[in-house]
Amino acid sequence: MMLNFYLPRNPPHNDGVHVANSFFGANVVRYDAPLATNNMHYGILHGGVDVRRRCKAEKKTWIHVDHGHIGGAHGAGDLRGYYRFSRGNRGNIYRDPTPKDFDRLKRLDGVIRQLPWRPLNKARFIAYQPPSSFLFNYCRLPADFDVKWVKIAQSFWPEHEVKVIGKGPKDDAFYDSIDGFVSFDSAVAVECLQRGIQILTTCDRSWWPNFKFTDENRQKVFAYLAGRNFTIAEMESGEAFFHLLDNGEIVSERGTA
């Protein structure tokens, strides 16, 4: 079997069930079913960690599925917008985009914006968003992780105040008040890039860690994201399956596509 999509175990909502049943090309299975060549699971919790560990032990491909990094936030039960698909990671490891990824980026013009870079203004501040407690434990981060990264952020923007902020949706007033955003990996960081606000990603395997973005590498990151974020309709039509097979997020039976 080429692709299994595992149903979550005792989930608090049915989003993962709906996404699994919508994905053309997948064999929808219980969380304890034998592994296939490729194995998708919606989220890390409710069986996701177990599927990932089994894939690692049996040298199979694990594909993480979750809310998308583009297209706006949506909560439980709201199936509009985009979902991300990421081979062997939670969606934060950069891989060079394919020609089809760049083509898809052009088609998503308006969904993914690339506004001019914002000039710095010392009246604004740098926002640091700590990883969640789950990520601290899951990634085994050191106790001084936040202290270290606040100092690094200060070194990147020495004339700005660095403020620690909480997770959650951000409004226009927030984006207007910052000159930089620092986080482990988040949709807010992608939104900042779209608005021309520089970011730092504190995950050690990230889109572009500790790197000042330019027009060129920002476009590469957006092409990468465009090729890994899809709507329910695109899953149902098979577009998501064939695109992910082309760019290698889904591994073919004969090896990486």
Q: What is the mean pLDDT of the chain?
A: 89
User: What is the number of helices (H) and of strands (E) in the chain?
Assistant: 10, 12
pLDDT digits (tens, 9 = 90+) for 186-233: 889 999 999 999 999 888 766 665 567 888 889 999 999 999 999 999
Q: Is the pLDDT of residue 257 over 90?
A: no
Q: How far apart are CA 73 and CA 81, in angstroms?
A: 7
Cα separation, 186 vs 91, whole angstroms: 10
Give the DSSP H/E element, type plus range, for residue 256: strand 255-256
Would the pLDDT of 179 be above 60?
A: yes
pTM of the complete model? 0.89
3-state SS class at 48: helix
pLDDT in tens, 77-136: 677 789 999 998 876 678 899 999 999 999 999 999 999 999 999 999 999 999 988 888
Gyration radius of the chain over CA positions: 18
Arithmetic mean of pLDDT, 135-154 = 92
Q: Which two tokens stand for residue 165?
A: 């902020």
Q: How many CB atoms lie within 10 A of CB 205?
A: 13
Largest CA distance in the chain: 57
Q: What is the pLDDT of residue 256?
A: 43
CA 245, 247, 248: angle at the middle one, nearest 5? 65
CA distance 241 to 133: 33
Cβ pair 126, 189 in contact under 8 A: no
Least Cα distance to 7 among 89, 74, 73, 26 occurs for 26
Residue 127's Cβ-side half-sphere holds a number of Cα atoms within 13 Å equal to 24
